[in-house]
């Protein structure tokens, strides 16, 4: 852990500041949209636009990096993010906000790809898992911290938009001034979606559903809070609860993942997700129960993302795992684009704010039923033959997922080598 921090502290610090900026602007727009009297459906378009840009950025960023290099891409896009955050309060217009969200989603995706390739270069086989874990923790903590900063000024003014703009600008400094060399950049040729679905139908369908739930959580939770009449302080705590749950429950669920049929664990997580959604739907008017619901939803959803990747890997050869990453991320992105729009439409009907939880309950329920069906179609992979579970959050790009896949392969190979050595000692020829 110390070795990772010493070699990548500047990158982790910069990414933490970037995530604080990203978390602030996402929640702040939901609150400010209510102040500007934008409809729920209009705000769902704004929130969905981020994932349109993010999906495009993950596809185009590798080519940009190869053409002009990591440093230029990182600096240019971070500057653009900083500028767009100031444009929001200057032009409170749905078209301007939607276009800005597309650009910010694109920029953050490309910045993540750049940072994740840098991080992988700073790690080696002995600490790559720790580096990925630290990176994901820093990302999530950044979003949690960002919610507290929403309480420092009036959301109807400019200050709360200036703070994330400054943080993003400052975030570039430690990264670009560090002495860590920029890595050679390459990506794996992607696997076709048809092939990926044939290998793991549950993995493919599950990633689409998880994308839809996460985008609704990440993009529409502040809109839900504003429509439900929560104060700014309550909205910030509510949004934070999703990500606190993700941090607290990720690793216990990962431990279980390596010791049981992963499809049964998917079913269990989805069942808790349904119950948590119903809790928020019927008792959401009681703030403490609302927080419990958000904590459990975030705690189920984020590990579910990693679990589906690990489940898919169980049916792939080692050399195919990295290639499958692009397809998994693309499927997840398609679900993410649709999530806020569907939630916004439902919340704009007579159902109102509880539609946020109705939506998550339906999607968790669909995935639970489908996982149960898939459990009847193919025998489970024995737990001692499954690949390693690696914690990855839905904010990660294909670059991080590829490196996580590589780390899983390294762990599996190391375990096989250790087992062979033990057998050699126990049964010498």
User: DSSP letter string over 330-346?
Assistant: HHHHHHHHHHHHHHHHH
DSSP single-letter state for residue 256: H
DSSP single-letter state for residue 158: S
pLDDT in tens, 57-67: 877 877 787 78
d(CA 243, CA 218): 10
Residue 269 has pLDDT above 80, yes or no: yes
pLDDT in tens, 117-144: 777 776 666 666 677 778 888 888 999 9
CATH number of 2-411: 1.20.1250.20
pLDDT for residue 180: 57
d(CA 208, CA 267): 16
Long-range contacts for 326-329 (Cβ within 8 Å, ≥24 apart)? 326/187, 326/188, 326/190, 326/191, 326/398, 326/402, 327/190, 327/191, 327/192, 327/193, 327/196, 327/204, 328/196, 328/203, 328/204, 328/207, 328/401, 329/58, 329/397, 329/398, 329/401
Q: What is the DSSP string of 169-225?
A: HHHHHHHHHS-PPPPP---PPPPPHHHHHHH-HHHHHHHHHHHHHHHHHHHHHHHHH
Is residue 138 within 8 Å of 16, Cβ to Cβ? yes
pLDDT for residue 396: 74
Q: How many CA atoms lie within 13 A of 374 on its CB side?
A: 27
pLDDT for residue 7: 63
Residue 385 banded pLDDT, cuts 50, 70, 90? low
Which tokens go with 146? 């960002």
Backbone angles phi, psi at 237, to 5 degrees: -70, -40
Q: How far is CA 35 from CA 10, 31, 154, 162, in A?
A: 37, 7, 11, 18
Residue 311: closest CA among 200, 185, 176: 200
Which tokens go with 392? 């990855």
Residues 172-192: what's their mean pLDDT? 66
CA diameter of the chain: 79
Which tokens go with 6? 């010493």
Q: Give whichever of 82-86, 170-174, 175-179, 186-190 has the largest mean pLDDT.
A: 82-86
Neighbouring CB atoms inside 10 A of 181's CB total: 10
d(CA 162, CA 150): 12
Is residue 309 within 8 Å of 389, Cβ to Cβ? no
Is residue 405 within 8 Å of 321, Cβ to Cβ? yes
Is residue 197 within 8 Å of 33, Cβ to Cβ? no
pLDDT in tens, 49-104: 999 999 888 778 777 877 887 778 888 888 999 999 999 999 999 999 999 999 99
Is residue 300 within 8 Å of 269, Cβ to Cβ? yes
pLDDT for residue 14: 85
DSSP single-letter state for residue 247: H
Is residue 104 within 8 Å of 53, Cβ to Cβ? yes
CB under 8 Å to 130, separation ≥6 — which residues?
A: 1, 4, 123
Residue 222 banded pLDDT, cuts 50, 70, 90? very high
């Amino acid at each position: 852990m110390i070795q990772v921090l010493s070699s990548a502290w500047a990158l982790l610090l910069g990414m933490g500041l970037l995530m604080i900026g990203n978390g602030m602007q996402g929640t702040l727009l939901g609150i400010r949209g209510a102040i500007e009297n934008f409809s729920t459906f209009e705000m769902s378009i704004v929130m969905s636009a981020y994932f349109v840009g993010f999906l495009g950025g993950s596809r185009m960023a590798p080519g940009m990096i190869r053409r002009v290099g990591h440093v230029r891409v990182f600096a240019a896009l971070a500057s653009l993010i900083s500028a767009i955050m100031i444009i929001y309060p200057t032009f409170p217009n749905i078209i301007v906000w939607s276009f800005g969200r597309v650009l910010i989603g694109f920029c953050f995706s490309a910045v993540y790809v750049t940072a994740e390739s840098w991080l992988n270069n700073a790690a080696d086989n002995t600490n790559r898992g720790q580096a990925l874990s630290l990176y994901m923790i820093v990302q999530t903590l950044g979003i949690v911290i960002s919610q507290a900063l929403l309480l420092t000024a009036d959301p109807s003014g400019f200050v709360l938009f200036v703070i994330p703009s400054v943080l993003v600008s400052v975030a570039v400094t430690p990264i670009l001034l560090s002495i860590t060399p920029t890595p050679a950049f390459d990506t794996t040729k992607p696997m076709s979606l048809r092939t990926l679905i044939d290998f793991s139908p549950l993995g493919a369908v599950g990633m689409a559903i998880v994308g839809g739930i996460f985008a609704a959580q990440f993009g529409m939770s502040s809109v839900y809070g504003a429509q439900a009449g929560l104060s700014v302080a309550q909205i910030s705590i509510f949004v934070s609860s999703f990500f606190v749950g993700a941090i607290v429950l990720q690793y216990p669920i990962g431990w279980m993942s390596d010791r049981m049929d992963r499809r049964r664990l998917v079913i269990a997580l989805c069942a808790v997700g349904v119950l948590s959604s119903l809790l928020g739907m019927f008792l959401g008017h009681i703030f403490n129960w609302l927080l419990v619901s958000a904590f459990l939803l975030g705690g189920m959803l984020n590990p579910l993302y990693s679990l589906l990747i690990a489940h898919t890997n169980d049916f792939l050869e080692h050399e195919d795992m990295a290639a499958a990453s692009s397809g998994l991320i693309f499927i997840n992105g398609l679900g993410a684009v649709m999530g806020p729009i569907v939630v916004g439409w439902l919340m704009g009907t007579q159902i109102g704010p509880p539609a946020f939880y109705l939506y998550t309950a339906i999607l968790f329920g669909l995935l639970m039923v489908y996982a149960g069906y898939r459990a009847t179609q193919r025998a489970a992979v024995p737990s001692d033959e499954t690949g390693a579970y690696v914690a990855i959050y839905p904010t990660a790009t294909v670059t991080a997922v590829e490196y996580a896949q590589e780390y899983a392969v390294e762990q599996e190979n190391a375990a096989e080598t250790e087992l062979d050595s033990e057998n050699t000692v126990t049964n010498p020829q």
